[in-house]
């Protein structure tokens, strides 16, 4: 699910009594992306895309699914307001992914398993690394791993974050 708060959105995330009573597992990641200043007052919107709707490719033991934006030769149907990308990479044992400098700002977050970026540089769950502009790296995994890849063009100015509010204006956050 991809939500654009824009000028304001209210929503509720609830699990029904029957599901809670039976017990269940849930795995998810919530990410907040700042809008360009010109779009901060855009109408609120909600987009839902199933797994089958998102482009995917498999190469060198890595299954890569593009959630939003354009990267790795794929383009997602999710509407974004700036040239960003957000991708899920699942590594099989021995998998390798070349992370090119296609976008100026890039990072990766290890969700499960471990990935290596060079000799003696192993990164485990929770590690988030930002790459320098122009820096290229190859990610390797000796065992199954999941990594989120993200980035894009720099935003047009500073952003303020408070809880799940992101804005170019601290006053706007306080009004919300």
Binning pLDDT at 50, 70 and 90, where does residue 172 land?
confident
- Residue percentage of the chain with pLDDT more than 90: 62
Burial of 68 (0-12, 13-18, 19+ CB in 10 A): buried
Half-sphere exposure of 68 (CA within 13 A, CB side): 22
Condensed to tens digits (0 to 9), the pLDDT of residues 17-26 reads 888 888 877 7
Condensed to tens digits (0 to 9), the pLDDT of residues 102-151 reads 999 999 999 999 999 977 799 999 999 999 999 999 999 999 999 999 99
Condensed to tens digits (0 to 9), the pLDDT of residues 118-130 reads 777 999 999 999 9
3-state helix/strand/coil string of the chain? CEEECCCCCCCCCCCCHHHHHHCCCCCCCCCCCCCCHHHCCCCCEEECCCHHHCCEEEECCEEEEEEEEEECCEECCCCCCCCEEEEEEEECCCEEEEECCCCCEEEEEEEECCEECCCCCEECCCCEEEECCCCCEEEEECCCEEEEEEEECCCCCCCEEECCEEECCHHHHHHC
């Amino acid at each position: 699910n991809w939500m654009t708060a824009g000028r304001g959105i209210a929503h509720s995330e609830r699990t029904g009594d029957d599901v809670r009573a039976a017990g269940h597992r849930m795995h998810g990641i919530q990410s907040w992306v700042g809008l360009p200043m010109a779009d901060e007052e855009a109408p609120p919107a909600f987009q839902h895309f199933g797994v089958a709707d998102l482009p995917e490719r498999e190469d060198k033991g890595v299954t890569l699914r593009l959630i939003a934006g354009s990267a790795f030769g794929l383009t997602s149907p999710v509407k974004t307001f700036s040239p960003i990308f957000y991708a899920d990479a699942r590594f099989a044992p021995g998998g390798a992914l070349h992370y090119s400098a296609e976008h100026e700002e890039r990072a990766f977050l290890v969700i499960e398993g471990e990935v290596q970026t060079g000799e003696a540089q192993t990164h485990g769950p929770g590690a988030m690394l930002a790459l320098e502009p122009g820096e290229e790296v190859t990610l390797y995994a000796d065992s199954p791993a999941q990594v989120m890849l993200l980035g894009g063009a720099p935003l047009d100015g500073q952003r303020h974050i408070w809880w799940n509010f992101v804005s170019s204006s601290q006053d706007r956050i306080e009004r919300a």
